[in-house]
Amino acid sequence: GAGVSQSPSNKVTEKGKDVELRCDPISGHTALYWYRQSLGQGLEFLIYFQGNSAPDKSGLPSDRFSAERTGGSVSTLTIQRTQQEDSAVYLCASRPTGQGYNSPLHFGNGTRLTVT
């Protein structure tokens, strides 16, 4: 079946603009995760959704970052007033939660964000 889909695959924006990144998880996967992968850095956890709920937003780097998920499916990550340090690959992953916490995450291809 279809995997996790992210759009756009690449986004170039000017500093100060807002951007919206989209993630379509695998159908039926209730858990959804956002990560940021910066050049030379590992994967930084941003936020987790169980259904539409994100109980812990403390991983978001600043209040310019927000995320939502509607209908238990599509999620959007919004970055307001982008800064150059926001340039990174933003990865989305999903997994089914009925199989225990050892079920693996399925990742999308990511959105490469470049802030000029």
Which residues contribute to the site for other proteins (CB under 8 A)?
Answer: 3, 31, 33, 35, 41-43, 45, 48, 50, 55-56, 91, 93, 97, 100-102, 104-105, 107-110
Query: Least distance from C-beta 18 to other proteins, angstroms?
Result: 26
| Min separation Cβ 4 and other proteins, Å | 8
Closest CA to 48 of 107, 100, 93: 93
**33 or 65, CB closer to other proteins?**
33
Residue closer to other proteins, measured from CB, 19 or 91: 91
- Is 63 in contact with 90 (CB distance < 8 Å)? no
Token pair recorded at residue 43: 């994967």
Q: Min. distance of Cβ 40 from other proteins in angstroms?
A: 9
- Minimal distance in Å, beta carbon 99 to other proteins? 10
- Which long-range contacts (C-beta less than 8 Å, at least 24 apart) are formed by 46-51? 46/77, 46/90, 47/77, 49/75, 50/97
6: how many CB neighbours lie within 10 A of its CB?
A: 23
